[in-house]
Copies of this chain bind each other. A is one copy, B any other.
């Protein structure tokens, strides 16, 4: 579609690219993630299934029966959440497929097949599939890409199809979606009889890259690139489309094309703006395509946007998008805590983007961010029991913010679910004669490297402890490099191979200890990451955090929760000199690292509302838990940022 758009696999850049290991080749055993994957299998999947049933999502698949009243009316918005139900079903299938690969379950397998059958049955003869438009508004197909999420829904179904094929080898959904994509490729493109359009909500672009990687068919990649390259061009497609509907293009619900990152062409975008999930999905696809096409200008845009996000517009938790109004970004350093929107899906999206940047640039700062968003902003969205969810993730609450079991826009539960269910693929990658370990999680992976098949077996209590034991098990001796991430927060790391110490410093390459040698079965690598509890301060331009400190240990951001501390929390202050002690509390929340410190509580000696003497301060021991574990007990106050005195 674009003559210059030739993937080149032989440049210097391309040589450094890594590939994620397939999720099917990783097992996680540790105390944090394995129980979460188990909860997803045993609780989240059946629970969401019953919620979808109850709320009409599955019934919507029966496109030939009369639709009945719209369950979620438009309410002056340009769209209804019913328009995205296909994407929720898709994410459920994707999550279920990952779960199936981790542990086979015949009933779940059959349940997925049943859904795929219904989807196949609903597909139109021309390949089109969208339950909302087929059933309710057939005449409006492709008439409002700006607001109506048709290609977005297709994208999630493509992701589901690829995951299902990878997990099961079955191609039922994949076949449906390939037919649909063929049809989409006929509708959209530069031809005179085609629409030069793209979706208001990016998603299909990254999905098409996945489809390309699974099928090796270039046209999927080209279509993704077409959507990315068209985005934000003038004359603006959304303007034309609005005029065609007889509407004023300026009468947009959110007032600006920044909302959908279509205000300027993507290579000209310098600031992370608009709806945060859209931004993350868009940038993920941009990174994917920059890697596939070795596209320097696209990668430069990604790096500029990355710098903007991480130095001006990101919560300390890896949460992003402070405002509920646009579910997205506002102004530099505008990071309020109590009203932080920081949608779970946005942090999940940051994991996606960071992972893709990492695979292109093999730089540990992306892995650091991936890990930060994963353990904090994203994980926070799912309860320990797997059946309660956060949509928005404030960094402070008076106790009124609680996990819910259903939301009229139920996008977040299957999003954090599919991330966790497929987490293994984020931990390891392979490049030219090298394998990299990005995340330290107890478990194992099988991967091909240096001409051998190698098993890597991790034993660790990370993130609660910094010691990692790595067994390298090639099926035959082989020379290759192992890249072990030395996290950015770690000031001191020690390394031993077969009980001989190695100097880490000279091995470092973009944040990884790079160990090239001939590996033999039974080789043992020991990595010790110094992991003290640390105080974190925000840039002083962040008004909400001035005079405050956050506590962090390793990748984990901590918070004070009311159930563990004397309420109200705002009275608590941490003296700058207090020592912060770390320990694992095996009895708490399934076993988590906790921090304790001596703090002070402002006392109310007098009933006077205003007085000329400052409140007194009495000592108190505070206990902090990982932020992402909060509200798994009774409703209570919570605060990440603590006053420092």
Indicate if A570 sits at the interface (CB-CB under 8 A): yes
In angstroms, how far is the closest chain B Cβ from the Cβ of A432? Answer: 33
0/1 interface trace, chain A 606-645, chain B, CB 8 Å (1 if under): 1111111111000000000000000000000000000111
Each complex incorporates copies of this chain amounting to 2
Contact of A541 among B539, B568, B645 (CB under 8 A): B568
Q: A311-B607, A536-B610, A539-B608 are in contact. Are A573 and B602 (CB under 8 A)?
A: no
Contact of A571 among B314, B546, B570, B612 (CB under 8 A): B546
Please determine whether A535 and B612 come into contact, CB atoms closer than 8 angstroms.
yes
0/1 interface trace, chain A 518-551, chain B, CB 8 Å (1 if under): 0000000000000000111111111100110110
Q: A603-B540, A604-B541 are in contact. Are A609 and B643 (CB under 8 A)?
A: no
Q: A311-B609, A546-B643, A643-B546 are in contact. Are A604 and B540 (CB under 8 A)?
A: yes
Please determine whether A568 and B543 come into contact, CB atoms closer than 8 angstroms.
yes
With a CB–CB cut-off of 8 A, which chain B residues contact A568? 541, 543
In angstroms, how far is the closest chain B Cβ from the Cβ of A369? Answer: 11
Indicate if A236 sits at the interface (CB-CB under 8 A): no
- A:548-580 near B, CB below 8 Å: 549-550, 568, 570-571, 573, 576
Please determine whether A546 and B311 come into contact, CB atoms closer than 8 angstroms.
no
Indicate if A310 sits at the interface (CB-CB under 8 A): yes
Please determine whether A644 and B537 come into contact, CB atoms closer than 8 angstroms.
no
With a CB–CB cut-off of 8 A, which chain B residues contact A571? 540-541, 546
Please determine whether A609 and B540 come into contact, CB atoms closer than 8 angstroms.
no
With a CB–CB cut-off of 8 A, which chain B residues contact A643? 546-547
Q: A311-B607, A316-B610 are in contact. Are A645 and B535 (CB under 8 A)?
A: no
Chain B residue nearest to A333 (CB atoms) is B609
Indicate if A49 sits at the interface (CB-CB under 8 A): no
Indicate if A312 sits at the interface (CB-CB under 8 A): yes
Chain B residue nearest to A307 (CB atoms) is B607
- Expressed in whole angstroms, the Cα–Cα distance for A610 and B309 within the complex equals 12
Please determine whether B576 and A547 come into contact, CB atoms closer than 8 angstroms.
no
- Expressed in whole angstroms, the Cα–Cα distance for A215 and B121 within the complex equals 87
In angstroms, how far is the closest chain B Cβ from the Cβ of A565? Answer: 15
Please determine whether B539 and A604 come into contact, CB atoms closer than 8 angstroms.
yes
Q: Max chain B CB contacts within 10 Å: which of A310, A573, A606, A610?
A: A610
In angstroms, how far is the closest chain B Cβ from the Cβ of A457? Answer: 33
Contact of A612 among B536, B607, B645 (CB under 8 A): B536
Residues of A within 8 A of B (CB): 310-312, 314, 316, 534-543, 546-547, 549-550, 568, 570-571, 573, 576, 602-604, 606-615, 643-645
Given contacts A535-B614, A540-B571, 20 further A-B contacts (CB under 8 A): A311-B607, A534-B612, A535-B612, A537-B610, A537-B613, A537-B614, A537-B615, A539-B609, A539-B610, A539-B611, A540-B604, A540-B615, A541-B568, A541-B604, A542-B609, A543-B568, A546-B570, A546-B643, A549-B614, A614-B644
14 residue pairs from A and B, CB less than 8 Å apart: A311-B607, A311-B608, A535-B612, A536-B610, A537-B612, A539-B604, A539-B606, A539-B609, A539-B610, A540-B602, A541-B604, A546-B602, A546-B643, A614-B644
